[in-house]
């Protein structure tokens, strides 16, 4: 089970939003590159970097993303506002090892098929869920029902999913295990969980459900979880 630290970028700083709300923002670090290096030193095996400005249509953080990718030795997966094949190429050109597709993937599974044809396992499809529906455009608009979305993405050949429980995101309330059980009933592909993780016990619970990895930010920033607890420790 892998813990993937999340570094969400807004105006060049590392921040966390509560349930994706841009008005509920906490700034955790003015130097995201130093933060990425710290996570690497603590034992992170992969980093998850999200360009919130790009996702919200408010600019981008490409220079910071490139510095993170070039400064660290662990692979970086990058998401946020990647909605065409050119954006995928740009992200990979910055040094990303995986690219996370969100809004366009949920609304246009044929785009996923084209992306997978060109980039195979470098593609991760984000499925951001609120009340049984996939949310798009920075979690501000409703997309398709969850089951319909997964079925279409399976047909498109999505190689891996990043499933976020929006209601749990940034809350430290524990992961929505039922959500991941539901998704895993409809796919044999690897599933990365995101949203609500607070402690190492949450990581073990996600592993028991069948998730491949967990993306977490606030738990690491607030100190309720340390990477070493799950890279060196064992579940009770």
Tokens of 72: 């660290």
Tokens of 25: 């923002």
The catalytic residue positions are: 8, 128
Q: Given this model, what pLDDT does residue 201 score?
A: 97
pTM across the whole model = 0.94
Contacts with 27 (C-beta within 8 Å, 6 or more apart), sequence order = 13, 14, 15
β-bridge mates for residue 141, sequence order: 136
Low-confidence stretches of the chain (pLDDT beneath 70):
232-236
Q: Given this model, what pLDDT does residue 236 score?
A: 42
Q: Given this model, what pLDDT does residue 235 score?
A: 47
SS3 55: helix
Domain 2-231 annotated CATH 3.20.20.70: yes
Q: Where are the alpha helices (DSSP H) in 120-199?
A: 146-156, 177-184
**In the 8-state DSSP scheme, what is residue 199?**
S
Q: Where are the domains of the chain?
A: 2-231
| Gyration radius of the chain over CA positions | 16
Q: Given this model, what pLDDT does residue 22 score?
A: 80
């Amino acid at each position: 089970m892998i813990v993937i630290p999340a570094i969400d970028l807004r105006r060049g700083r590392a921040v966390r939003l509560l349930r994706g709300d841009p008005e509920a923002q906490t700034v955790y670090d003015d130097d995201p590159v130093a933060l990425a290096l710290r996570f690497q030193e603590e034992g992170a095996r992969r980093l998850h970097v999200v360009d919130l400005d790009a996702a919200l249509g408010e600019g981008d953080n490409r220079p910071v993303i490139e510095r993170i990718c070039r400064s660290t030795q662990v692979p970086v997966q990058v998401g946020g506002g990647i909605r065409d094949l050119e954006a995928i190429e740009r992200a990979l050109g910055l040094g990303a090892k995986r690219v996370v597709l969100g809004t366009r993937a949920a609304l246009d599974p044929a785009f996923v098929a084209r992306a997978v044809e060109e980039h195979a396992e470098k593609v991760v499809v984000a499925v951001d869920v609120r009340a049984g529906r996939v949310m798009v455009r920075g979690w501000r608009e409703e997309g398709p029902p969850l089951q319909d979305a997964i079925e279409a993405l399976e047909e498109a050949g999505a190689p891996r999913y990043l499933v976020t429980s929006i209601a749990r995101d940034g809350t430290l309330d524990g992961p929505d295990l039922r959500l991941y059980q539901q998704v895993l009933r409809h796919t044999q592909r690897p599933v990365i969980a995101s949203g609500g993780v607070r402690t190492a016990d949450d990581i073990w619970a996600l592993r028991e459900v069948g998730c491949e990895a967990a993306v977490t930010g606030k738990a690491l920033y607030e100190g309720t979880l340390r990477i070493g607890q799950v890279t060196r420790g064992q579940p009770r």
